Amino acid sequence: MRNHGPHSRPWRRSPLLPSLLLALLLGGLSSPSSVQAEETPAVGKAATARPNMVVVLVDDLRWDELGCTGHPFVRTPHIDRIANEGARFRNAFCTVPLCSPSRACILTGQHAHTNGIVDNTDRSAQSHQLTTFPALLDQAGYVTAFIGKWHMGNDATARPGFDRWVCLAGQGTSNDPQLNVQGKEIQRQGYTTDILTEYALEFLALPHEQPFCLFLAHKALHPELVQYDDGSISDPGAAEFIPAKRHQQLYTDAPVPRRLNVLDNAAGKPALLRQLPGVPPLSRQTGTSDKTVRDRLRMLAAVDEGLGAMLQTLEKSSQLDNTIVVVLSDHGYFYGEHGLSVERRLAYEETARIPLLIRYPASIPAGTLIDPFALTIDLAPTLLQLAGAKVPAGIEGRSLVGLFQGAEPADWRKAFLIEYYSDTVFPRIAQMGYQALRSEKYKYIRYLELPDADELYLLTEDPYEMQNRIHDPKAKKLVHQLRRHLDELAPERK
């Protein structure tokens, strides 16, 4: 067993950082070759035998708000580079559209009902027990780092399997964050996205003698709020999205695109049409403002700049092409679809679909577009396979490696489970825990506490999920089939 842990080695400042961060703060990295950084020490031969890994997790990022996915005005050149030089998964989904559970799914390769992280309550002790893919890589000889928002409990102390640990407390803040750095509680001054990028650059600049795995989990694009141990939060309606000062005037005059279901007032959705005390009916007015949309995209600019600096660091040390770079999000966000905004947790496309981009020239041709379903639980077995590490039997996801060349295995999934177990954070969606089946043609949502509230959408003719067909006599046989299929995928209801 190797004798290195999260507190065994000091965190050293790198001479590489000033030029890269100065360029970032003075207006960003306009292209992959726009900044000349100092040369870093050569990485040992052991690192070239197996690929390095950099996973960048962006909070609440929708699948459709990147340049590479066709957004009309957002500029994300460095994120787009990952897609252009690697693969973009056009049908990537989370298996639970909620922060803490989705992060656990990504890290463990297991559904929420299996790993046990099913909500945003204080899961600190439980999350110390998770078997994560970085911990498995650590056992296989990788140097591992976690930087950013852990968000499975408010405890920021190091979890097992990470040699480098920089963690925000709870939700974190957008400015002047409190951090646990190698076991020491500190407060840094500045914009949190930039500070997390700085720590990532420091880790990448170290003279690694083994292959490394960096998991960078940004606070952005999450709003500014406080989450308490019982899962409740400060007023979400008053929460602000805070971009870096240098980006606050971006996109000021750009018309905000809206999907057709913004005009939908949740007709045919009994669970959302309930009249609840103190909760206004869903309408265009309850949706997300243009300012909120712009501020979220302004926050994304700092994430993109930070990725550009990281890619350039890897290029200067001749490690980029031997590094698997992944960009994804935990789930999406509502921009007023069906009148929704902050609720997130529901099974509709706007929150269940995510961006998933992977660059690794040794296995993925540039510009690859992949259409079969890819899930958050697939990342762990994918990276373990590429590292040559054993994939434990308990992992429920499937390696995506077989999709990299464009072929779809005959037994690849045709449908998958989305799940959520109700909490009390948002009164509008109280008791709306569900199990949902999403296939190429259909989505069936079964609410666990609300009888007669189920939903069925024929996605090929109703991609915006505006016509609930659950009571259509012509769909009776289909509903029966989908329920049986969902029973096969979902845990037994108690």
Would you state the pLDDT for residue 228? 56
pTM of the model: 0.90
pLDDT, one tens digit per residue, over 26-35 is: 544 544 333 3
Task: For residue range 84-98, list pLDDT tens digits in order.
Answer: 999 999 999 999 999
Q: Percent of the chain beyond pLDDT 70? A: 86
**Nearest of 440, 393, 328 to residue 102 by alpha carbon:** 328
Strands (DSSP E) found in 309-458: 323-329, 356-359, 368-370, 374-375, 415-420, 434-439, 442-447, 455-458
Identify any residues that bridge with 233 across adjacent strands, giving them in sequence order: 227
pLDDT at 387: 98
Distance CA 48, CA 384 (A): 16
CB 382 within 8 A of CB 401: yes
- The answer on pLDDT for 200 being more than 60 is yes
Which has more confidence, 333 or 43?
333
Confidence of residue 103 (pLDDT cuts 50, 70, 90): very high
- Using alpha carbons, select from 288, 300, 345, 346 the residue that is nearest to residue 327: 300
Cis peptide before 320 (omega within 30 of 0): no
| For residues 7-15, average pLDDT | 44
Percent of the chain that is helix, strand, coil (3-state, to 5): 30, 15, 55
Question: What's the pLDDT score for residue 262?
Answer: 93
Average pLDDT of the chain to the nearest whole number: 88
379 contacts: CB under 8 Å, gap ≥ 6 = 55, 106, 109, 133, 326, 328, 397, 400
Least confident of 219-228, 446-455, 458-467: 219-228
The listed range with the strongest mean pLDDT (18-27, 28-37, 226-235, 310-319) is 310-319
Strands 368-370 and 92-93: unpaired
Question: Picking from 36-45, 176-185, 279-288, which range would have the lowest pLDDT averaged per residue?
Answer: 36-45
Average confidence (pLDDT) over 146-151: 92
The Cα-based distances of 103 to 276, 340, 401 in angstroms read 31, 23, 21
Name the least confident of 64-78, 162-176, 324-338: 162-176
Are the C-beta atoms of residues 149 and 59 closer than 8 Å to each other? yes
Mean pLDDT score, 206-235: 82
Of 231-240, 278-287, 394-403, the least confident? 231-240
List the domains of the chain with CATH numbers.
Answer: 17-403 (3.40.720.10)
From the list 167, 161, 236, the residue with the least C-alpha distance to 426 is: 236
| Amino acid letter for position 51 | P
